[in-house]
A = this chain, B = another copy of it.
C-alpha cells in the first residue's frame, strides 16, 4: 500500500491509512459523505477535504473507480478482478451487482473497432425492484 503510493510520488499518512482501511472495510458503492462520516466517527480531527481527496487518490492509484447513476452523488467502488455491472432501482435506490464478465470481449471489440483503447466499462440497468413494484401496487395504483 505504502509502496503503491510511493511508486507514484505520493506519501503515506496516518489519515490516509485510516481512510483507506475504512473504505475497504465498507461495502461497495460508498459515497464521499458516507465514508467521511464513518472516518470521522473514528477520528474527529480528520477533515472532510482530506477524505474527498483521499477518495480521489484511491481512484488515481487504480484501486477504485467512480460510479455515477445520475442522482448527483458520486459513489466509489473498489475495482475487483471480476468485471460487474449495476442494477439500480429508480424508486428506492437499491443497488445490485451482476457479473458482466461475458460482455467484456464484446465491449473490447466495440472499442477497438472505433480506435479506442478501453480503460473501463460501465454497464448499468435502471429499473424498479420487486419490493418497490409491490408497494406501489398495494397503494392503489
Residues of A within 8 A of B (CB): 66, 68-70, 74, 85, 87, 89-90, 96, 98, 102-103, 106-107, 110-111, 113-130, 133
CA A104 to CA B129, docked complex, whole Å: 18
Interface of A is mostly: strand
Chain B residues contacting A98 (CB-CB under 8 Å) are 110, 113-114
A selection of 5 A-B contacts at a CB cut-off of 8 Å is A96-B114, A96-B116, A107-B125, A111-B127, A116-B125
- Residue of A114, A116, A118, A125 with most chain B CB atoms under a 10 A cut-off: A116
Q: Contact: B116 with A121, CB < 8 Å? A: no
Q: Contact: B122 with A128, CB < 8 Å? A: no
Besides A107-B123, A121-B125, A122-B126, 7 new A-B residue pairs in contact (Cβ under 8 A), listed by A number: A70-B74, A98-B113, A116-B125, A117-B133, A119-B126, A121-B126, A123-B123
